Structure 1
Amino acid sequence: MTTKTGHWLALGLNPGEVVDWNHQVRDGLVDKCLDQVHRAGGLCVAAHPHAPYPSGDFMFPFLGFDVVEVWNGLWTSDRPWNADNEAALAEWGRSLAADLHTGSWRPAMGNSDTHLEGQIGIPHTVVFAEELSAEAVLAGIRAGRSWIAESADVDVSFTAHADGRVAGVGERLV
C-alpha cells in the first residue's frame, strides 16, 4: 500500500481485492484498511517505517500491524544495511519487549524494493511453511517461523534445548 503518507504491505489478499490507498494518516482511514486486510485473513506489514521521508510516523507503536519490516533493501544506496534499517530494528526490539508483557509479539521481515537494478531479493524473508501455499506461508510468518537473509546462499539452523525440550525457529520452549 503506497499511501500519501507512507507505505505498508497487505499480504494474503484474494486476487482482485482492492484496498483504498488514496488516504493520508489524518483521514482516519488507515485502521479501516488494516481491518479490511485482517477480515480477509491477511497480514499487515509496517514497511520501512524509518525511511527518510514522511512515511512511517503513523505506524508507531505498530498498532494494527502484524509484522514489522526491519530490513528494507537497496532503495537509496548500494549499502544493503543502513541507518533506516538500524532504526527500524531498534524500534521493533523495543516494541517486542513491550509486546511480550501482553503475551503477543510481531514477527520481523526483510523485503526489497525495486528502485534500482539488482535490488530484487536483497534482502528477503525465508519462511518455514508446512506446504507451498499462501495460507501456509502466512501461517509461517504469523508464527515467526521465518528469518531474513541478504543472499539465497545463506541458510539458518537454530535449535534450543532445555530440560529435555527442543524448539526451532518460531517455536517455544514451554
Structure 2
Amino acid sequence: MAPQSRWHYLLETHQPRDALDPEDVGPQHKGELPMYYGWAFTQADLMKYAEYYHLETPLMSRLSAKLGKSSVNYAELSESDAKDEDVLAYLKGIAAIAVKQDLENETGIALQVVRPLSEKYVAVVAMYNHIDANERRWIDVGHGLADTVKTIHQSIREAGVNSRPMWWYDWKVLDWDHAA
C-alpha cells in the first residue's frame, strides 16, 4: 500500500473512541496498537491554554542568551518576542509539555503527552493507555477518577479549549514496517 493511501486508511480505520470493550483493556487486550485516554489539542488550543494560565517555561540556552532572560511567560510575550520565529517555534514545540505539567500540578497525577493519529490534533494529554489499565485503578484509589477527569476538563474549558476525553491511537501506528 502506498504511503499516502496507507495514511488515509489508518485515519479512517483508527478513529478516536468514547469507550473501549473490556476485552480491549489490560494485559488480556487483543494486540491492538496503543490507545491513550485523554484530551486532544490543536496547536492553537495548546497556545490558548498556555496563554490563559500564564504558563512560564524555561528557555533553551541559545534563546535565553538572545532574549536576555531564562524563562518566558506565554501570556506576557513582548511584541518583538511574539514576532520572533525562533521564539514562537520553541514555544509551540514545548506547549504540550507545559500544558501537561500544569494539569499534573492541578491533579497530582502523572500524565503523558502523545501525538494522536489525526490530521487536526497535535497532542493528547492522557491519563493512561489501554494496556496499562492498572494506572486507572491507581488514579481512582489515590485521587478519585471522576474528580480527576472533572478537574482536567474544567481547566481545559476555562481556557476556552473545546476537548473531551476520548481514546486516541498513538501516532506510532504510522510505523510503516508494521503489518496492516
* TM superposition score normalised by structure 1: 0.25
Structure with larger Rg: 2
Which has a greater percent of helix?
A: 2
- TM-score normalised by the chain length of structure 2: 0.24
Q: Which has the higher contact order (CA 8 A, sep 6+)?
A: 2
Question: Which is strand-richer, 1 or 2?
Answer: 1
